[in-house]
Amino acid sequence: TISDLVDAWHEHVVLVFRDQDLDEDAQLRFARQFGTPGERARPPERRPEGVDYNASIILITNVRENGVPIGSLRDGEMWFHHDMSYTEAPHKGTMLYCMEIPPTGGNTLFANMYKAYDALDEATRDRIQGMRALHIYDFALTERVDLSGDIDRYKHRIQPIAVTHPVTGRRALYVSPLITARIEDEPADESERLLDELFQFTEDSDLIHEHVWRPGDLVMWDNWCSCHARTDFPETERRMMRRCTILGQPLYE
C-alpha cells in the first residue's frame, strides 16, 4: 500500500486523505513510512508550543490561550512558498492534519511547479538555465525579507531557479514570492523584472488546486515540485492544524 501511495504522490504531487483521526504519534508513524520526519527550523526558545514540545511537530494555528499564541503561521493570508527552500536540504514533503477550520477562508492553494515550468515560453526556459536565486525567510507571511540589512540574521540558501526532481527526474520551477528574494548575478531591477515574470504562476488557475479543509483531512504535498499559499480568514475564528515534514536533500538543476 505504501509503495502505491508513493507512486501516487509522485504522479499527483498532492494527496488528500479525508476522515482521519490522528494523534501526534499516529501522524509521525504515518510520516515515517515515507522517510525520516524533519525538525523545525525555528530555535527552541522561539517556539510558541514551548521548548519541550516535540521538535518534529508544529502547530499551525491562530489559537491563543490567555492571549498567548500556541502555534505558528497564525493569522490570515500567506503567500506562495516551498517549505524549507531556504535550507541546504529542503524537506521533501509536508503533512498537514486539520483539527479545526474557520467557517470561511483559510483554504490552502497548491501550485504544480512542473506545470509552472512547462508553462514558461522557450526563451525564458533557456534564459533561466544555470540561474540561481537567493531564498531567505524571516517567518513573515505576506512580505519578503528586506535585503538592505545583514542577511546573515536569517536562514538563507542559494537555489537553482529550476530544479530536477530527484525521484521523478522532471524539471520544476523553484521560486516563490514569499521566499525568493533576488536572482544572483543580475542587477536588482532585472532580477525584480524576471522574478515578477516567474511569479505569474501564482495567478494561473490551470496549475493551482484550492483545498477546502474539513476536520480530519490529512494532506501531504511534495515540496520539490509544488508550492503552496493560504487564503485569508477572519482572525476572530479558530483554525488549528498539525504539521510534520519528511527530510529531504540538496536540489540541483
| Contact between 243 and ligand OGA per CB under 6 A | yes
Q: What whole-number distance in Å separates Cα of residue 123 and Cα of residue 128?
A: 9
Among 83, 87, 112, 244, binds ligand OGA (CB under 6 A): 83
The stretch among 33-41, 46-54, 81-89, 164-172 that binds Mn ion (CB under 5 A) is 81-89
83 touches Mn ion (CB under 5 A)? yes
Rank residues 63 and 73 by Cβ distance to ligand OGA and give the closer one.
73
Q: Which three cell numbers stand for residue 215?
A: 476536520
Decide whether 172 or 241 has the Cβ nearer to ligand OGA.
241
Nearest distance, CB of residue 199 and ligand OGA, angstroms: 17
Dihedral of CA 149/155/158/163: which sign?
A: negative
Which residues, listed in sequence order, are joined to residue 218 by a DSSP beta bridge? Answer: 17, 97
User: Using the rule CB under 6 A, which residue among 31, 96, 99, 175 binds ligand OGA?
Assistant: 96
- Note whether 219 binds ligand OGA by CB under 6 A: no
For residues 194 and 183, the answer to whether their CB atoms sit within 8 Å is yes
Q: Would you count residue 222 as binding Mn ion (CB under 5 A)?
A: no
| DSSP per-residue letters across 178-244 | TTEEEETTS-HHHHHHHHHHHGGGGG-GGGEEEE---TT-EEEEETTSEEEEE----TTS--EEEEE
Burial class (CB in 10 A: 0-12, 13-18, 19+), 239: buried
Identify the residue among 116, 179, 241, 244 touching ligand OGA (CB under 6 A): 241
- Supply the minimum distance, in Å, between the C-beta of residue 77 and ligand OGA: 10
Q: Which positions lie near Mn ion, rule CB under 5 A? A: 83
